[in-house]
Structure 1
Amino acid sequence: MSDQIILANRFREVILNGTWIANTNFKNELETLDWEIATEKVHNLNTISILAQHIHYYINGIKQVFLGGNLEIRDAYSFDFPDIHSSEQWEHFLGRFWSDSEEFAILIEQMPEKQLNEDFVLEKYGTYLRNIEAMIEHSYYHLGQIVLIKKILNNRS
């Protein structure tokens, strides 16, 4: 199995379908979550919705580079999203999240092996491999936060 297939599968595990590392994934945690719970504030923590949108922001931004575009995402804007006010808005976001995530995984699978060790946009950003691995690790970090926030919210009732 190629490195690209392994990386794409690891990415899918955290976002779409895996249970090996965290015994859950984003889709499992969010797909049936009511929008009101996803947007409920707990103390000074980010909401579940904001955390999910944050991860999607990076997936979509890196995906644009994979497609030959510019790196337009900025850390300073990675938590700035319009509020979600309905189940339709929440479902629309989730649909984009799953679709962009699958496209991201497919682009990893299709990436020439040589490209994995090339600079990602600029040398200071590391290689494509480092950025893909960082996306996976970053996703697990925020998945853990989502699981904990859900537990806090469930214990309030």
Structure 2
Amino acid sequence: MSTVLQLVKRFREVLLDGVWIANTNFKDQLKDVTWKQAVIKAGSLNTIALLTFHIDYYIAGLIRVFEGGDLEIRDRYSFDLPPVESQEQWESLVNKLMSDAERFAVLLEQMPDTKMNEPFVAEKYGTYLRNIDGMIEHWYYHLGQITLIKKLLSSDLI
């Protein structure tokens, strides 16, 4: 299997439909979260809504690059979620993540393997492979956080 197809498979596993590594994925974890649960602050942890925004912020930024645009995302803005004040706003945030994840997977699937060893935007960022692989690993980290926050919300611990 090509490098690109392996990355697409791993990306889809963590975001959309996999169970191999974590026995779950973002789509499964977010499908039954209500708006009120999404915005509850459990101690010093980020909210589920904030983590959902954070993940989509980077995916949307990479889509822009994949489509020929500039790299406009900045770490300092990756947690700038506007207030989520309704179930509709929460569902819109989740739907945007799922839609962007699907778009990202389709665009990645169309890349030639040779692109993976090219610099990502600028030499200082490393290669496409390094950035995409790192992003996937980072999403597993946040998937674990969301899973634990959901467990805390369903317990008497908060």
Q: Provide TM-score, normalisation by structure 2.
A: 0.96
Partner of 2:142: 142
User: The residue matched to 1:155 in structure 2 has which SS?
Assistant: coil
Partner of 2:66: 66
Q: 1:44 Cα deviation (Å)? A: 1.4
Code of the residue aligned with 1:44 in structure 2: it is: S
Q: 1:3 Cα deviation (Å)? A: 1.5
User: The residue matched to 2:4 in structure 1 has which SS?
Assistant: helix
Confirm or deny: 8 A CA contact 2:61 2:72 kept in the other structure: yes
Q: How far, CA to CA, are the matches of 1:126 and 1:28 in structure 2? A: 32
Q: Does residue 1:98 correspond to 2:82, yes or no?
A: no
Greater Cα offset, 53-62 or 1-10: 1-10
Q: How far, CA to CA, are the matches of 1:39 and 1:106 in structure 2? A: 30
Partner of 2:34: 34
Code of the residue aligned with 1:21 in structure 2: it is: I
C-alpha root-mean-square deviation of aligned residues, in Å? Answer: 1.0
Runs of 4 or more above 3 Å deviation = none
Partner of 1:87: 87
Q: 1:45 Cα deviation (Å)? A: 1.1
Q: Provide TM-score, normalisation by structure 1.
A: 0.97
Partner of 2:45: 45
| Identity score, percent | 59
- Equivalenced residue count is 157
Q: How far, CA to CA, are the matches of 2:155 and 2:74 in structure 1? A: 35
Q: Structure 2: state its 5+ residue gaps.
A: none
What does residue range 100-139 of structure 1 map to in structure 2 within 5 Å?
100-139=100-139
Confirm or deny: 8 A CA contact 2:52 2:93 kept in the other structure: no
